[in-house]
Amino acid sequence: MRIVGVSMMRNEGDIAEAFVRHHLSLFDHLLILDHASTDSTTDILRALVAEGLPLTVHRDESLAFQQGPRTTVLAREAFRTLRADYVLPVDADEMLRTSSRQALETSLASIPAGQCGQIAWQNYVVTEEDDFAELNPVARITHRPAIEPNPTRNVVLTPYMMGDERWEVAPGNHWLAMQTHRGMFAAKMQPLPDLSYAHFAIRSEAQLHQKVFLGWLSARLQNPAAIQEAGASNVSGAYSWHWRHLFADMLDQPHVPVKRLQDYALRLYVHKSLDVDSAQISPLIKDPVPAPYTLRYTSPSAGSALVSLARWTDDLLTRVGQSMSPS
């Protein structure tokens, strides 16, 4: 069985190396699209390739965030070029949890023909107990909710998607979809309960600033008016609603202490609502994700939101200027 992971990665310098080393203990190959990173992500990925790991990295210089179409291209490349039997689209902040490679193969083999698989998230959140001297966020952040009241699931792709070029991975990697004359059609997905993704969405103040500022602005480039005007009361509403909410919060209160980082993660990713009563928020349990590897290229200054935003804005203005210049 040949298993390939695909990921679209942008400004994930604090977790990129951990992501690669974690998954290459389970996958046969990783195929990563470096989406115009302006922090240390590019250098880290380049060093990992030079190390000789089974890792292929492409670079995309576009400014807009179009995860679905780009991940679809990566997945098709994994099937066609890397001869994958299964392709797992994984974000840089997601770590696959399984007891062994054999257990992973057994779970994947249970997916019925003509279907995809799906793997549920376990959201990990920062706490005051975290060892902030620990550079690896996977090793540092050890707590998760005891239950996931509204679990998010990611798709596992099978060669079924190759049967029709209209199949496309949905934004967020949550399902496989096809646009037909009758509307949107989603592929059948088989739950894989023996697998999970440890999801480290919010890891530090610096990481959150970078994620929110560039994430929201990149999303707005796709359809500025529609995204800005869309209304929603929870995460399942308008596209990138959580980024819009966090962006407004960051402008109002730039300093984000640990307790607020935790609250964001619990409300936005676990309960998927700002309105949940504090008494109803799921209690946390300690359940560390093993990290039996050493980081060689990650530094404490993995990324600065200010520097990344300045570079992104400078690039944007250059392109605007070029588009306005007479040909």
Amino acid at 146: A
Spell out the alpha helix ranges (H) of the chain. 16-23, 41-50, 67-80, 101-109, 137-140, 205-222, 224-229, 241-252, 258-264, 305-324
Angle, to 10 degrees, between the axis of helix 41-50 and the axis of helix 16-23? 30
Q: Is residue 2's pLDDT more than 80?
A: yes
Residue with tokens 């796709």: 222
Would 166 be classed as within a structural domain? yes
Would 325 be classed as within a structural domain? no
Please give the average per-residue pLDDT across 154-176, as a whole number. Answer: 92
Closest of 10, 2, 43 to residue 26, by C-alpha: 2
Would 168 be classed as within a structural domain? yes
Would 103 be classed as within a structural domain? yes
Task: Work out the mean pLDDT of the chain and round it to a whole number.
Answer: 87
Higher-pLDDT residue of 160 and 231 is 160
Would 184 be classed as within a structural domain? yes
Would 180 be classed as within a structural domain? yes
C-alpha to C-alpha distance for 194 and 176, rounded to whole angstroms: 21
Which CATH number fits the domain that encloses residue 9?
Answer: 3.90.550
Please tell me the least confidently modeled range out of 1-10, 123-132, 298-307.
298-307
The C-alpha angle with vertex 310 and arms to 308 and 314, in degrees rounded to 5, equals 120
- pTM of the model as a whole: 0.86
DSSP state of 209: H
Percentage of the chain lying above the pLDDT 90 cut:
60
Token couple for 209: 């600033």
Would 277 be classed as within a structural domain? no
Say what the pLDDT of residue 227 is: 46
Residue range(s) defining the domain that contains residue 140 = 3-201+285-309
Percentage of the chain lying above the pLDDT 70 cut:
84
Domain count, the chain: 1
C-alpha to C-alpha distance for 49 and 57, rounded to whole angstroms: 8
Would 124 be classed as within a structural domain? yes
Higher-pLDDT residue of 155 and 213 is 155
